[in-house]
Amino acid sequence: MEKQWFTISVYSENNVGLLNRISGIFLKRHINIESLNVSKSEIENVSKFTIVINATEDWTRKIVGQIEKQIEVIKAFYHTDDETIYQESALFKIASGLLFDERQIQNIIKDSNSQIVTVSRDFFVLAKSGRRHEIDEMHKLLEPFGIMQFVRSGRIAVTKSEMQITALLEEFQEQ
């Protein structure tokens, strides 16, 4: 079976030790977490982990089974890129002088659909959201001018199909 990208979505209780427990499952099978994001979800008091890995579907399925087994995990799903709407965010910190000296930079800002978050005497910050390759491309364009700092977030994703967590929670509560 071929390796491909999978986005794993984990709905869970908000618990201190859970991240450790979940990351251990990947560690056991020697699978690198390519990207990780933890946030609140659409349901009150329910957290959502979004984890991206490159693995075979068979292994991904087994890993998701192991994750779902953890006491504080309500439900875990895995999806291919085609089945999700996903984005990453990046921040570029660049010397302010360049904004005036290099006309090309203004074109990059416009063409890349990025936003200027702040401008100070010494530097300005660009924010860009999009697919990984779009951010990489912008990075490539800005690199020759000098990037003072760069950071990119983990992937965040929603699925095209429904993830019925509320119903599941109600079912658990009835038991």
Query: Between residues 43 and 85, which has the closer beta carbon with respect to other proteins?
Result: 43
Question: By rule CB under 8 A, what count of residues binds other proteins?
Answer: 22
User: Is 51 one of the binding residues for other proteins (CB under 8 A)?
Assistant: no
Residues 26 and 66: their CA atoms lie apart, in Å, by 10
Q: How far apart are CA 157 and CA 154, in angstroms?
A: 10
Asked if residue 12 binds other proteins (CB under 8 A), the reply is: yes
| Per CB under 8 A, 131 contacts other proteins | no
Which residues partner with 54 through β-bridges?
Answer: 5
Q: Which is nearer to other proteins, 59 or 123 (CB)?
A: 59
The reply to whether 61 sits near other proteins by the rule CB under 8 A is yes
47 vs 84, beta carbon nearer other proteins: 47
Query: Closer CB to other proteins, residue 120 or residue 175?
Result: 175
172 touches other proteins by CB under 8 A: yes
Q: 35: which strand partners?
A: 52
CB of 29 to other proteins, least distance (A): 12
CB 54 within 8 A of CB 34: yes
Q: Does 57 engage in binding with other proteins (CB under 8 A)?
A: no
What is the DSSP code string of 65-131? HHHHHSTTEEEEEEEEGGGEEEEEEEEEEEEHHHHHH-HHHHHHHHHHT-EEEEE-SSEEEEEEEE-
- Residues 14, 40: Cα–Cα separation, whole Å: 9
Residues that bind other proteins (CB under 8 A): 12-13, 16-17, 20-21, 24, 28, 61-62, 65-66, 68-69, 71-74, 169, 172-173, 175
